[in-house]
Structures are given as C-alpha cells and as structure tokens.
C-alpha cells in the first residue's frame, strides 16, 4: 500500500487515509467470490423449499403472471394471458417473459424463474464490486465491503426466488452504470434500454446518468476533472450508435405496449396508479423503515451523511463519482413519493440497495476520515480505522444473524400463497368448465394453475376495467359483458357477499381466499369502503365496544346497504345493547339478502327460541347445520332448542321437572 495525500484530483484532502489497492489476482478472486456467495444464498432458499414448505412457489401472486404469459407464448405463440384472449401488455417486465419462454425450452415454471433470479443476484453482486472499483480507485476495500453486504443481504436473497423482475432490473441498471464508468458508451446505452423492458423505473436511472454526465462536463471545474490517461477513449461514433440503440429500445418498448394496450407504458403502471389512487400510507415512514431495517440500519445515517458531502462537493464544483448513485437513490424515492406514494413491499426500492450500500460505506469512511483530519493525532487515525472496521463488521454480522429469520418469513409467505391463490387455482381447474371466466384481483396463480381466462379486477390484464374503478355498478356491467361465471377473491381485499363460497381456504389463516359462482343480480360485490368499515366493526365487537361498533356499522350501511354480512354484524351488535326487536329485524334482513347465510341464521334462531317460537328456531338451526355442518355454535344452539322443546312438551302433558337441594 502507499500513502495517499488526497482522495483524488480536486477532491477533499485527506492526510490520514492510506490508499488501498487489491492485486490483480485478488480482484479476480473477489469478482468471482461474490457471485458464488449470491448463488449459494439463492440455492439455500430454493433447494430446501420443497421439503420445508411442501413445494416450490412464490411469496407474491404477481410472480405467476409472467409465468402464465411465458407458457402461453411457448404453447400458443401469443403474448397473452390465455389462449384465445387478446394480447395485452399485462406484465411489468416483457423481457422477463421472453427470458422465461426461452428457458422454458429446457425448464418451465417456478424453476425457470428461480434460475433467472439467482443468476441475476450473482450478476448484481459481481457488478456492485466492479462498479465500486471504478468509483473508489484508491479505496478498493469499499467496493469489497459493499459487494459482501449485498451478497449477504436477506432482502436480495429473498428477491432472487420471489419470481419478480426486481433483480433482473437491478442487474441491468448496474451493468449500465458500470459500463458508463468503464467508458463503454454503447454498452451503457444498451443496458439502460434493456432495463426499461424490465421496469419503467429505468427512466429514473437514465435521468440520474444524464444528470451525472451534464454535471461532469459542464459544472466541474477544469482543475477538478479526473484524468483518464491510459483508459479507453469515448468516441463520438460509439456514443452516437449507443444513443440510437437506446432510442430504438425505448421506441420499441412504447410501440410494443401501445399496440397491445394503447399506452406507452405497460398496463400495470396505469392500473396501479388508478387502483391505489385513494389509498393512504405513511410513505416517508415506510421508506425510512426499508433503509433502516436489518444491516442497512448500520449504514443509513452514513448514507445520509454521504448525500450531504456530495452536495457540498457539488457546490464546490468538485468531481463527484457517486453523483449517479445518489441521484438514482434519491430519484427513485422522489418518483414514488410524487407519483405512487405506496410501498407495497420491499421490492419497490430494492434496486437502489447496491447504490445505497456504496453510498453508506463511502459515507462511513468519509465521516471518520474528516474526523481524523480535524484531530490530527496518531491515536485518532487508529481509532477512526477501528471504528470503521467495527461498524462495517457489525453490518455483516447483522446481515448474517437476520438471514434465517428472513428465509423463514419468505417460506411462510410462500406457504400462504400456496394455501390460498394456488389452492384456489387448482380447485378451479378441477371443478369448472373450460369456458369458465374467472373475475379476480389476484390473477397470477388463479390463471396459472386454473388454466382459465380471467377478468382482472385490478385492470393490469383487463385495461377496460381501469375507467370503471371505484364504480361498482359499472364493474358489474363489465362482469355481464365479459360473461364472468366465477369470482375468486381474498375476503379482506375484495369482499363478496349474499352467496356462499364454493371454495374457501383455511379460515384460521389470514387473507381467506374464496371462490364464488357468480349470479348476476344476486352475488353482491361489496364496496371496499364498507368492507373496511366492517373489519373495523368486527375488531370493536371483539373488544366488546358495542356502541363504537354500532356507529361504524351505521357508516358501513351508508356505503353499501345490501350486504348480509353488515346486517348480521349490526344485528349482533344491537342485540348486545339490548335491542332484541331490531336485532331480529336486521338478522331477518340478512337472511332475506342471502337465504343460505348460516352466520345470521344461528343468532336469529336463538332469538326465535327465546320468543317461544321454538319450532321456527329449530327449523332455522337445522338449515344452518345443513349449510355448515362444522358449526359448533349451530349444533350447541340446536341442542338447547331441542331441550327446551322437550321440556315444554312434558309440561304441556302435566309432567314437571324439579330441582332438589339439600
């Protein structure tokens, strides 16, 4: 190693930090080691999954959508969700579909998706290291630490086997960034264009790269510009060819989507913006939660410090190698915050994680380097190195300690999807005719395993729905015009009432999945607002806060007055408040809306028995047991009613029962 008096030409001075360079052989070893670690991490998810979970699968329903498109492309040569259904741009990543179809010649389904994800993870870790070498020429250890953290990241390993295009997108963005700094302009443009075919957020990265380019050429003082002596020159010809190639890829992406769905972007973009338009979320808190969870917590403050130092360097017009990384991280947060301020899962911001890590490790070094400069004492230099090593080591230890917990959580999510959406899809395949059409807001697994055309309530696969979101009457009209025969939905997200489900997933698990036969004019789709109010009322009822529950249910009636579930909840609530007469009215209303709704029949029968209409109560309880033979409450109420009837019969004959006491 050699002493370094400066961080680089024109950069902030550092008289206490030694330059650190790996030998060429060590660079080569590390460049291979980090991808190997990523492959091992991915396999540690994929290989034990069948034995631990029961079978391979994904923790997200959307992951099955790309598989369905790829299967249809292979089997029927059409870019559509089902044979005979018009083609549509219903997948966020068309490139992922094409890759799955290509790999499908050798391996199809979940395994093909795992292969793409694990290979992408390996590429991400390798490119994080190589990009770090380009950015930190005198402190190559930063590149190694960042790559190690990415390789050990539980987030990244989980994403590798999630079935989503997150890691392919991240790999393409990193490849583009690497070739930018390697001065290979044609490859920079190529990978930036391909990244757009995996996610629209590629435009944010390209904008970050343009910001870096313009700043470096127009704002940096001449004396602060780095020397590229001995490096590959950037030719105007290569840049022009690359730019044309990028424009062709962007134009091809837009034309592809416009022909299929009438818009520049893929369907899911407009559909999600509309579907979640009225959703509220603590966006800033969720962003902070992502960057401060697990090992990222050890670096988040240093990443913020790095952003502050980059700002200072920009004001002073210095060379800022990390500007592109900073602009991409900040740009992604800003883009989602302004356009789509909802963090549905960790995968939204995951592509920024390698760049965040580079920022965080550099910020860690810069903070203690400045401290050592401010206090030029020998022990301060040693202390700074020690603290930097401890914090970086702590991040590694935290990543390793969280790894198994993340994998267990991933396996639980896979199991839930298998038990809900996948089970519903398999039921549909076995119990419906081939011309059945399934309306659902979870089209991935339902269509992949059900092999039936779907009507996507969220609009990602059925663009005509987008204009009718929030209007139940128009949605019902769409059901009729599209000849919907069944509805498959999670009860907590899209509630169907006034009909009994043909299939129900385990009710003891969250997010109960149900499949209903759809009968126009009878099967009722609940207002989402009313459904949410009912959930809140049920929570209050569980706490015996009957007055509060009554008020919430009255609001629910205003949103949607035609739900047997709302009528039942309200009847039970006012029954607890002593209003038996009106409780009976609302429970009878529930039964009139849905004449096979056992949850309303049982309390209604109990009221009838108490009002000496024992025979009517018994008949109602017997019907409830026919509908739901497993109902303990119905069986118990029926025993009590039968006992009352026997007692009344004996007393009518003059036979009395006595209780003797001593």
Number of domains the chain is built from: 2
Last residue of a domain, one of 376, 397, 413: 413
pLDDT at 647: 77
Q: 570 in a domain, yes or no?
A: yes
Q: 438 in a domain, yes or no?
A: no
Whole-angstrom distance, CA of residue 243 vs CA of residue 201: 19
Residue 522: pLDDT band with limits 50, 70, 90: confident
Mean pLDDT over each residue of the chain, to the nearest integer: 89
- Residue 517: which H helix or E strand, with range? strand 513-517
Q: 239 in a domain, yes or no?
A: yes
Q: 463 in a domain, yes or no?
A: no
Residue 3: phi and psi, rounded to 5, are -70, 140
Please write the tens of the pLDDT for every residue from 321-361. 999 999 999 999 999 888 887 777 778 899 999 999 999 99
Helix and strand numbers (H, E) in the chain are 27, 7
Give the residue-averaged pLDDT of 8-26.
Answer: 62
pLDDT at 138: 87
DSSP letter string, 449-487: HH-S-EEETTSSS-GGGGGGTT-HHHHHHHHHHTT--EE
Last residue of a domain, one of 374, 396, 413: 413
Q: 451 in a domain, yes or no?
A: no
Q: 526 in a domain, yes or no?
A: no
Please write the tens of the pLDDT for every residue from 120-168. 999 999 999 999 999 998 899 999 999 999 999 999 999 999 999 999 9
Give the residue-averaged pLDDT of 296-304.
Answer: 95
State the residue range of the domain holding 345.
24-413
Residue 652: pLDDT band with limits 50, 70, 90: low
What is each CA distance from 182 to 178, 323, 650, in whole angstroms?
6, 16, 97
Residue 280: pLDDT band with limits 50, 70, 90: low
Q: 488 in a domain, yes or no?
A: no
| 187 has a pLDDT exceeding 90 | yes
More confident residue, 109 or 189: 189
Tell me the pairing of strands 524-525 and 496-497.
antiparallel
**Order of strands across the sheet that contains 486-490:** 454-456, 438-440, 486-490, 513-517, 503-504
| 6 has a pLDDT exceeding 70 | no
pLDDT at 10: 39
pLDDT at 655: 53
Residue 654: pLDDT band with limits 50, 70, 90: low
Q: What is the pTM of this model?
A: 0.87
Whole-angstrom distance, CA of residue 438 vs CA of residue 484: 6
Whole-angstrom distance, CA of residue 416 vs CA of residue 414: 5
CA dihedral 410, 413, 414, 420 (to 10 degrees): 180
Residues 265 and 119 in one domain: yes
The CATH number for 596's domain is 1.25.40.10
Q: 202 in a domain, yes or no?
A: yes
Last residue of a domain, one of 413, 446, 471: 413
Chain centre to alpha carbon of residue 475: 25
Q: What letter does residue 497 receive in the DSSP assignment?
A: E
More confident residue, 215 or 644: 215
């Amino acid at each position: 190693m050699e002493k370094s008096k400066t961080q680089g030409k024109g950069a902030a001075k550092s008289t206490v930090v030694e330059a650190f360079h790996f030998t060429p052989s060590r660079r080569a070893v590390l460049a291979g080691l980090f991808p190997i670690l990523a492959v091992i991490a991915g396999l540690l998810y994929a290989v034990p999954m069948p034995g631990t979970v029961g079978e391979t699968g994904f923790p997200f329903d959307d992951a099955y959508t790309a598989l369905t498109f790829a299967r249809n492309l292979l089997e029927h040569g059409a870019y559509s969700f089902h044979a005979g259904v018009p083609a549509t741009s219903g997948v966020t990543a068309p490139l992922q579909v094409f890759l799955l179809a290509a790999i499908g010649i050798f391996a199809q389904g979940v395994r093909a998706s795992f292969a793409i994800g694990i290979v992408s993870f390996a590429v991400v870790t390798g490119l994080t290291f190589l990009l770090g070498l380009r950015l930190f020429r005198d402190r190559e250890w930063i590149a190694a630490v960042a790559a190690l953290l990415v390789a050990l990241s539980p987030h990244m390993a989980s994403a590798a086997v999630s079935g989503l295009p997150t890691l392919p997108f991240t790999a393409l963005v990193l490849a583009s960034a690497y070739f930018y700094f390697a001065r290979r302009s044609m490859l920079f443009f190529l990978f930036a264009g391909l990244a757009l075919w995996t996610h629209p957020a590629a435009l944010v990265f390209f904008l970050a790269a343009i910001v870096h380019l313009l700043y470096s050429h127009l704002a940096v003082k001449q004396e602060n510009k780095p020397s590229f002596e001995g490096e590959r020159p950037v030719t105007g010809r290569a840049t022009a060819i690359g730019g044309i190639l990028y424009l062709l890829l962007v134009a091809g992406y837009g034309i592809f989507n416009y022909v299929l769905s009438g818009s520049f972007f893929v369907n899911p973009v407009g559909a999600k913006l509309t579907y979640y338009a009225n959703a509220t979320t603590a966006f800033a808190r969720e962003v902070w939660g992502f960057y401060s969870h697990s090992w990222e917590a050890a670096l988040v403050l240093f990443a913020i410090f790095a952003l502050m130092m980059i700002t200072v360097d920009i004001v002073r017009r210095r060379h800022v190698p990390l500007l592109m990384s900073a602009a991409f991280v900040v740009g992604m947060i800003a883009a989602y915050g302004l356009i789509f301020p909802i963090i549905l899962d960790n995968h939204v911001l995951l592509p920024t994680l390698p760049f965040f890590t580079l920022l965080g490790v550099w910020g860690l070094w810069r903070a203690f380097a400045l401290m050592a400069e401010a206090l030029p004492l020998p022990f301060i230099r040693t202390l700074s190195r020690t603290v930097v090593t401890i914090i970086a080591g702590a991040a590694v230890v935290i990543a390793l300690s969280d790894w198994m917990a993340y994998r267990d959580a991933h396996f639980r999510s896979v199991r839930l999807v298998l038990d809900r959406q996948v089970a519903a899809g398999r039921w549909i395949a076995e119990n419906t005719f081939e011309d059945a059409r399934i309306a659902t807001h979870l089209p991935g697994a339902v269509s992949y395993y059900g092999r039936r055309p779907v009507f996507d309530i969220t609009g990602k696969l059925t663009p005509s729905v987008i204009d009718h979101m929030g209007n139940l009457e128009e949605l019902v009209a769409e059901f009729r015009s599209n000849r919907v025969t069944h509805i498959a939905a999670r009860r907590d997200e899209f509630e169907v009432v006034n009909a009994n489900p043909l299939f129900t997933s385990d009710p003891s698990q969250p997010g109960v999945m149900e499949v209903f036969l759809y009968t126009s004019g009878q099967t009722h789709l609940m207002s989402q607002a009313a459904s949410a109010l009912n959930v809140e009322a049920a929570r209050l009822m569980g706490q015996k806060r009957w007055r509060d529950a009554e008020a919430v249910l009255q609001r629910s009636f205003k949103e949607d007055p035609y739900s047997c579930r709302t009528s039942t909840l309200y009847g039970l609530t006012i029954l607890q408040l002593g209003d038996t007469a009106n409780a009976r009215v609302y429970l009878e209303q529930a039964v009139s809306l849905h004449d096979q709704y056992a949850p309303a029949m049982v309390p209604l029968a109990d009221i009838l028995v108490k009002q000496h209409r024992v025979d009517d109560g018994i008949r109602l309880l017997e019907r409830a047991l026919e509908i739901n033979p497993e109902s303990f409450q119905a069986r118990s109420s029926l025993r009590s009613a039968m006992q009352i009837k026997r007692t009344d019969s004996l007393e009518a004959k003059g036979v009395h029962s006595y209780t003797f006491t001593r």
